[in-house]
């Protein structure tokens, strides 16, 4: 099994996916491409998955149409007649594998062995669908408690309305389903292709967490000091100078109303995957009815 590709994902923005991206690209032998590369890979996988299911569902009908048409019955020359046999499926899967092959070759051309791509806000199910066609696909899934996610998103201007807050909470709940399922079993049955990372645990012992990341991914000599940098904003120096200016925005303070919304929507999931931190929402000083 190879060490590529790797999808770096998270339940919501500001959960640590860019943090992992920077660590991967700091290694001797790895690089983590951005969201566009991941989007293409996952979209191609989703398209291939759905089309293969449709081909399977209509296989007998298509065979019936084709046999009649070849027998001279032109009434069966229907507009949606498909290519015979398994060739459409092979073409779809082949296109996906061709895409992967080119990323493999492009990565080797820059003298790297391991390539990843970042796809925050992706469900684990969408990544599993891709793994159906790419057997060596791996996933690093980093998650963070929703209170800090919202504080970071608010500081960066990603959340400014209650509707946006509700959307982020809903997204976080939906995309932590896999983490909740693993947590119920004390993470004793984690799929081999998955490396879940609790952001808070990572920060508590960075050296151990990086060693685990290297063991899972095949990355070598990740620069430990990268994990100590506080960066959450990348902006061009100017309209004419694309040189990134890195900075850090302190997490925003949440209002009681915002904390109430988070508690109302997320308290059960927080309790489930953060049992060691029962007071994450205590600062709201509210009892959720």
pLDDT in tens, 132-165: 889 899 999 999 999 999 999 999 999 999 999 9
Q: Is a pLDDT exceeding 60 seen at residue 1?
A: no
Q: Tell me, yes or no, whether 124 lies in a domain.
A: yes
Among residues 129, 139, 124, 266, the alpha carbon closest in space to that of 181 is found at 124
Q: Is a pLDDT exceeding 70 seen at residue 278?
A: no
Higher pLDDT, 206 or 60: 206
Q: Tell me what pLDDT residue 69 has.
A: 85
Q: Which helix (H) or strand (E) holds 178?
A: helix 177-184
Q: Is a pLDDT exceeding 80 seen at residue 61?
A: yes
Q: Which token pair is 278?
A: 């029962």
Q: Is a pLDDT exceeding 90 seen at residue 54?
A: no
How does the average pLDDT of the chain come out, rounded?
Answer: 89
- Whole-number Å distance between alpha carbons of 261 and 225: 37
Q: Tell me what pLDDT residue 283 has.
A: 46
Sign of CA dihedral 239, 242, 247, 251: positive
For the beta carbon of residue 58, count every other beta carbon within 10 angstroms: 13
Q: Is a pLDDT exceeding 90 seen at residue 216?
A: yes
Q: Tell me what pLDDT residue 239 has.
A: 78
Percent of the chain at pLDDT > 70 equals: 94
Higher pLDDT, 243 or 3: 243
Q: Is a pLDDT exceeding 90 seen at residue 245?
A: no
Q: What is the mean pLDDT of residues 221-244?
A: 83
Which domain covers residue 185, as residue numbers?
A: 6-284
Distances (CA, A) of 143 to 20, 162, 173, 271: 11, 22, 11, 14
Lowest mean pLDDT among 57-61, 80-84, 159-163: 80-84
pLDDT confidence bin for 287, thresholds 50/70/90: very low
Lowest mean pLDDT among 122-126, 137-141, 187-191, 193-197: 122-126
Q: Tell me, yes or no, whether 1 lies in a domain.
A: no
Q: How many domains does the chain have?
A: 1
pLDDT in tens, 28-49: 999 999 999 999 999 999 999 9
CATH of the domain at 20: 3.40.50
Q: What is the mean pLDDT of residues 253-280?
A: 89
- Whole-number Å distance between alpha carbons of 38 and 203: 25
Q: What is the CA radius of gyration of the chain?
A: 23
Tokens 């891709």, located at residue: 130
DSSP 3-state percent helix, strand, coil across the chain (nearest 5): 55, 10, 35
Q: Is a pLDDT exceeding 80 seen at residue 111?
A: yes
Q: Which token pair is 251?
A: 């997490």
pLDDT confidence bin for 280, thresholds 50/70/90: low
Q: What are the DSSP calls for 137-155, one per residue?
A: -EEEEEE--HHHHHHHHHH
> CA torsion angle for 208, 213, 215, 216 (degrees, to 10)?
140
Q: Tell me, yes or no, whether 244 lies in a domain.
A: yes
Q: Is a pLDDT exceeding 60 seen at residue 285?
A: no
Q: Tell me what pLDDT residue 165 has.
A: 98
Among residues 44, 51, 48, 53, the alpha carbon closest in space to that of 119 is found at 44
Q: Tell me, yes or no, whether 289 lies in a domain.
A: no
Q: Tell me what pLDDT residue 281 has.
A: 66
Q: Tell me, yes or no, whether 231 lies in a domain.
A: yes
Q: Tell me what pLDDT residue 286 has.
A: 41
pLDDT confidence bin for 77, thresholds 50/70/90: low
């Amino acid at each position: 099994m190879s060490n590529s590709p790797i999808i770096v994902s998270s339940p919501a923005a500001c959960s640590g996916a860019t943090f992992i991206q920077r660590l991967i690209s700091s290694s001797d032998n790895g690089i983590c491409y951005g969201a566009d590369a991941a989007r293409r890979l996952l979209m191609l996988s989703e398209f291939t998955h759905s089309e293969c299911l449709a081909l399977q569902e209509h296989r007998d009908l298509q065979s019936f149409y084709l046999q009649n048409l070849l027998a001279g019955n032109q009434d069966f020359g229907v507009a949606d007649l498909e290519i015979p046999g398994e060739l459409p499926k092979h073409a779809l899967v082949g296109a996906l594998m061709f895409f992967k092959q080119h990323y493999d070759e492009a990565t080797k051309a820059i003298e790297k062995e391991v390539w990843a791509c970042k796809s925050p806000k992706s469900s684990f199910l969408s990544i599993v669908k891709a793994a159906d066609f790419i057997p060596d696909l791996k996933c690093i899934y980093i998650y963070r408690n929703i209170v800090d996610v919202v504080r970071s998103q608010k500081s960066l201007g990603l959340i400014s309305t209650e509707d946006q807050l509700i959307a982020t909470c809903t997204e976080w709940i939906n995309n932590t389903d896999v983490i909740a399922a693993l947590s119920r079993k004390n993470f004793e049955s984690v799929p081999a292709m998955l490396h879940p990372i609790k952001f808070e645990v990572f920060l508590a012992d960075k050296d151990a967490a990086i060693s685990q990341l290297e063991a899972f991914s095949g990355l070598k000599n990740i620069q430990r000091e990268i994990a100590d940098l506080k960066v959450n904003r990348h902006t061009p120096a100017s309209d004419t100078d694309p040189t990134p200016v890195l900075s850090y925005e302190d997490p925003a303070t949440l209002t009681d109303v915002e904390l109430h919304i988070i508690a109302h929507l997320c308290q059960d999931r927080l309790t489930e995957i953060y049992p060691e931190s029962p007071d994450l929402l205590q600062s709201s000083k509210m009892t959720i009815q």
